[in-house]
Amino acid sequence: MLLENLSYVEVEGYLSEKDVVLIPIGSTEQHSPYGLIGTDFITAEAIAREVGKRMDILVAPTITYGMSQHHMGFPGTVTLSPETLISLIKDVVNSFLEHGFRRIIFINGHGGNINAVNTAFEQLKYENKKGIFQIISWFLLPEVQEMEKMIFGDKNGYHATPSEVSITKYLRPEAFQTKPSSEREEIEKIETYWPLNKEEFKKVYPDGRMNSAPWLAKEKYGKLIMEEAVRILEEKIKKIVKMEIL
Ligand code: NI
């Protein structure tokens, strides 16, 4: 059930039975020459929408920009500052709260968003807002990571991972016609500090990958990994829906 396709009358009907909404959030940032700039929001959106469909719960429009400052050395990347992202999350949550939503769950596709989103939740709680505010990052679910390890071994890395690239390949195969098909044998294992600014990031990760082998991505892996993420998210959200709001 997509919020964007409903009328306010239908939303009133939904709220008379349920108070949960899923909000996909990702980023618009480089994912190496092998992956799509929209990777993080395309994956989060598809996973959230599939969960929403199976559970018959509302999915809000996707937040397609995130905190991507360290990727700004690569064209096409668009970033919000952490302050902007905190304000954006607060405004979105407050809007849903005002109409009676109480379980507001962000399905996240980008690691750089996590700190700011949690800070927004803490600030909302400090302002005595009633409800359950959660961010669930599909790529950090232990069951998903286990599957990724089985498929890609130690070549998944941290950014432009073959897992996320596989999911986008499964969802948008046509976008990969123009991406390089060359494969490399070795991947660099780089140890560095964090956070990095855009120049530091480019120095350590010149083509935008972070210890990953995105050329290993395949549609069939994307289907498997997405299915596992959806399955685990369903379990987690079922628990949140049953939780008592204090
Ligand atoms: Ni990503």
pLDDT digits (tens, 9 = 90+) for 169-208: 999 999 999 999 877 767 878 889 999 999 999 999 999 9
Q: What is the 193 CA–ligand 1 centroid distance (Å)?
A: 19
Residue 182 lies in a domain: no
Phi, then psi, of 196 in degrees rounded to 5: -120, 150
Using CB atoms within 10 A of its CB, is residue 11 exposed (0-12), middle (13-18) or buried (19+)? middle
What pLDDT is recorded for position 211?
Answer: 93
- Rounded Cα distance between 208 and 71, Å, is 8
Cis peptide before 180 (omega within 30 of 0): no
Residue 81, domain extent: 3-175+187-242
Residue 86 lies in a domain: yes
Q: What's the CATH code of the domain at 192? A: 3.40.50.10310
Q: What is the pTM of this model?
A: 0.96
Q: What is the 86 CA–ligand 1 centroid distance (Å)?
A: 20
Q: What is the 95 CA–ligand 1 centroid distance (Å)?
A: 28
Residue 39 lies in a domain: yes
What pLDDT is recorded for position 185?
Answer: 66
How many domains is the chain built from? 1
Query: What are the DSSP calls for 161-182, one per residue?
Result: -HHHHHHHHHH-GGGGGGS---
Residue 180 lies in a domain: no
Residue 181 lies in a domain: no
Note the pLDDT tens digit of each residue in 88-140: 999 999 999 999 999 999 999 999 999 999 999 999 999 999 999 999 999 99
Residue 43 lies in a domain: yes
Q: What is the 129 CA–ligand 1 centroid distance (Å)?
A: 31
